Structure 1
């Protein structure tokens, strides 16, 4: 017999595709339309292989997404191999935005596909191959529109196909330790961003952009071979063509009409869009701010991106623990609000010391929203609606991530990436940086307003949820 536990571990849902916690009273019995089906429990060896495969996959997918700002800084600089990309922040950031946006937006298409396809290994490897192909082909491009076809469309479609099968199927193999298992897998996201930033900058400095892309592509494909061989449907759990529960799983990927009439769903959707749009702006412009305004080296910019990713990963764990004490919705609102405050207070017109504080504090506060959104979906809409609402929310977040960075690039406009020298040759002087700093300050205001509006939306969802349930609880 299977029961569903309303308590969901925050650390098991840092990213799309994770499922609410389902606790089996028996490891080998499942109820399907009133009949008992005996299910062979997975071996500990297979579970360990699944954890390793998930961590390796997410290391690449999330890691490469998080460090696109380093690519952007290179493509828009005078060192760029793509001449029509130099100084074009809006156009170049759209490349990364499409790639990352398709990764998440693919959830709305991948969840039904996973329920229909038995050969999930082929889907996973095909996704990794397309993702790697996008990176490798990007190494040969000479025009910016070539990047849209390769490092945006091919990469984004492939990464979504690579990501969701494992993240959707892995939870059902851990009946009693699902929170620990998914937390272990998702830990690869922060490590990926931290390591990828340093590796990418090293490759750029020593081998150039072409070989950096080729090495990343081949590395990703080599890792994907063992990863795709591990993942498979768990027989009897309703994922696959032969299962009698496949139609039920397909139905759960659609949001029902009752939810579409609720204000909580619409304001949560608006908040998800705005937060995703605002969340990517610091990641994409952290490196360029370091070079253009602070007049520091590219390697320092990469180091800041790496630090931010590492802090963000630790914050997800800490925010999850805090949420158990003060409530998940409360922690979500607090993280969203404080991330907006950190942008306004620490990034606006920031000198080096304050910018470093921003890199750290933004990593702390932004991690809370990413970790807790899926768990609040379970609390607000019920575990039976988790799959459908979670899929739609991450589709919307994918759209939002395509919006924020390109608009910020339009605000920033074209500008020199070279340190501006004063009359005495001091490269750290701020002489002549006034116009550039003002443009970045405008970007900061735009980003802060997006994050603040997102915080207001999730706060209003908290109020609407309490009203709909007929009671107010301080811990929610």
Structure 2
């Protein structure tokens, strides 16, 4: 009997670890969780100093990646003006927004390629630094652009590929260095995103006003690369993880990064994917056109437009925490669905035909409601598909959300059409037509977000059916 109990003890620890993993899978995307399926005795304990360095490095990295992605609307407002250095971009919102959409989309869509690569390669420092270098090079080369296709090559493709290589190694490996306080640690790292958009919007507008777009891009590129050097020196595989061998990591990655055939046959997976695509497409539209609406329709200054972007980013970040706390009381899927519905309603009720006061309310309220989806999607993936499928499903959802973010803003730009903002704002008729087009953009965006809410609501019903029971708190 004693020998039986001795053999059962490690399995008890593993099951307890899996329960702990379920409770702490509360954060963004590329979080690898499979190490908790292994006995902890195989892992070399990290030092407190290294854990602190990892937290600082992660916060600095995510500050730049998320911050720059969130403020592309300020670049777009400048590129489409009559004084733009990109002459064929003037008034072309659809073409210019595609630049930012590709850059941000590649950042997230790269998950399906980066996670297997990280599992197979030993020198993740080189991957991280190479990504930061390519990302920074894209920003710096964009400063020499004179045609819009130059921006596609630099601020879209180079930036997007580099940012994905820079982002995912650290976000994939950091969680395995924290066992008892993983949720707290990832919260600190993700706090970089909470201040990234808030600070970057104000910094970027100041750089544009004082130095112009060329030097603004160069300074951002140099700043990013300077920060990336110490960041890339910190990230590494944990000693003992995957039994300490690259061969073992390669073998485990093949099973952990691919969605199983059983999941592919489930309606929950396909409706979850559709909802992820639609929500990502709708989510970026206000971010990209918030500044231009402020300047073109409300006739406020570009500094005020940047301030609105900054406020929205700050509120969105605080909302992620609040929504997470609310989800503990009413259920994560319920909170996710509620946030999706309310974000769509805020677009219809507050952005459509909005004067200044109502638009400010929209900036705040949309930040509140939209933050819930981004924060809670990973947790609902764990609840619906199981912890054993978290890595594979979450990687696919990131890829799909990346594709969605490439779709929404350019279509909104097509709805706005080519125009001269200065001439449109100079006459009542021109301003009225411009406002009408922005109203059409608001309707388009609200429909995308409402359709996403319908999808995640249906996933809730299908999940209850598959599990054979309905729970009000889920």
TM-score range, shorter chain: over 0.9
CA RMSD of aligned residues (A): 1.8
Could you tell me how far apart the structure 2 residues matched to 1:10 and 1:238 are?
Answer: 21
Distance 1:59 1:350, change over 3 A: same
Q: List aligned pairs for 1:419-430, cutoff 5 A.
A: none
What does residue 435 of structure 2 align with? 437
Distance 1:163 1:420 in 2: 40
Shift of residue 244 of structure 1?
2.4
**Structure 1 position 18 matched with structure 2 position 31:** yes
Deviation for aligned residue 1:248: 1.6
Distance apart, 1:11 and its partner CA: 8.3
Q: CA deviation at 1:38?
A: 3.4
Find the partner of 2:168 among 161, 164, 170: 164
Structure 1, unpaired ranges of 5+: 25-29, 424-429
Deviations 1:167-196 (A, max 9, x none): 000000001000000011001112000000
Is 1:326 aligned to residue 327 of structure 2?
no
Corresponding residue number in structure 1 for 2:117: 113
Give the distance between the partners of 1:269 and 1:140, measured in 2 at CA.
38
**Structure 1 segment 268-347 matched on structure 2, within 5 A:** 268-347=272-351
C-alpha separation in 2, matches of 1:6 and 1:39 = 17
Give the Cα–Cα distance (whole angstroms) in 1 for the partners of residues 358 and 222 of structure 2.
Answer: 38
1:241 deviates by 5.2
Determine if contact 1:374/1:390 at 8 Å carries over to the other structure: yes
Give the TM-score of the pair, scaled to structure 2.
0.94
Q: Distance in 2 between matches of 1:422 and 1:153?
A: 36
1:107 to 1:421, Cα distance in 2 relative to 1, 3 A: closer
**Paired residue for 1:5, among 19, 44, 64?**
19
Change (3 A) 1:411 1:241: farther
Map 1:69-108 to 2 at 5 A. 69-108=73-112
Give TM-score, length-normalised by structure 1: 0.94
Q: 2:182 aligns with which of 169, 178, 181?
A: 178
For this pair of structures, how many residues does the alignment match?
460
Q: Residue in 2 aligned with 1:475?
A: 473
Q: Aligned to 1:365, what secondary structure does the other structure show?
A: helix
Whether the 8 Å CA contact 1:114–1:120 is kept in 2: the answer is yes
Report how far residue 5 of structure 1 moved.
1.9
Residue 452 (structure 2) pairs with residue 454 (structure 1): yes
| Equivalent in 365, 380, 385 of residue 381 of structure 1 | 385
Partner of 1:27: none
SS at 1:472 equivalent: coil
Q: Which residue of 2 aligns with 1:48?
A: 52
CA distance in 2, matches of 1:129, 1:203: 21
- 1:201 corresponds, among 190, 200, 205, to 205
Residue 355 (structure 1) aligned to one of 356, 359, 372: 359
Query: 2:239 & 2:254 partners in 1: Cα distance?
Result: 17
SS at match of 1:52: helix
- Residue 22 of structure 1 and its aligned partner are, at CA, apart by 7.3
- Is residue 292–residue 416 contact of structure 1 (8 Å, CA) maintained in 2? no
8 A Cα contact 1:136 1:217, kept in partner: yes
What pairs up with 1:127-138 in 2 under 5 angstroms? 127-138=131-142
The C-alpha deviation readout for 1:396-420, integer Å capped at 9, x for no partner, is 0000000000000000012233386
Whether contact under 8 Å (1:174, 1:181) holds in the other structure is yes
CA distance in 1, matches of 2:145, 2:433: 32
For 1:186 and 1:239, the matched residues in 2 are separated by 29
Greater helix proportion:
2
- In structure 2, relative to structure 1, the CA distance for the partners of 1:173 and 1:312 (3 Å cut) is same
SS of 2:411's equivalent in the other structure is helix
Q: For the residues of structure 2 that align with 1:372 and 1:239, how far apart are their CA atoms?
A: 32
Residues 1:249 and 2:253 aligned together = yes
Following superposition of structure 1 onto structure 2, how do residues 139-150 of structure 1 map, counting pairs within 5 Å?
139-150=143-154
Q: Please tell me whether residue 393 in structure 1 is matched to residue 397 in structure 2.
A: yes
> How far does the alpha carbon of each residue in 1:245-299 deviate from its partner, in whole angstroms, 9 at most, with x for none?
4312231100000000000000000000000000000000000000000000100
Change (3 A) 1:456 1:10: farther
Q: Match of 1:464?
A: 462
Shift of 1:98: 0.2
Q: Does the residue aligned with 1:99 lie in a helix, a strand or coil?
A: helix
1:25-40 matches, within 5 Å, as: 30-31=38-39, 38-40=42-44
Deviation at 1:63, TM superposition (A): 0.2
Q: Which runs of 5+ in 2 are unaligned?
A: 1-12
Q: Distance in 1 between matches of 2:416 and 2:331?
A: 38
* Distance in 2, Cα, partners of 1:299 & 1:93: 20
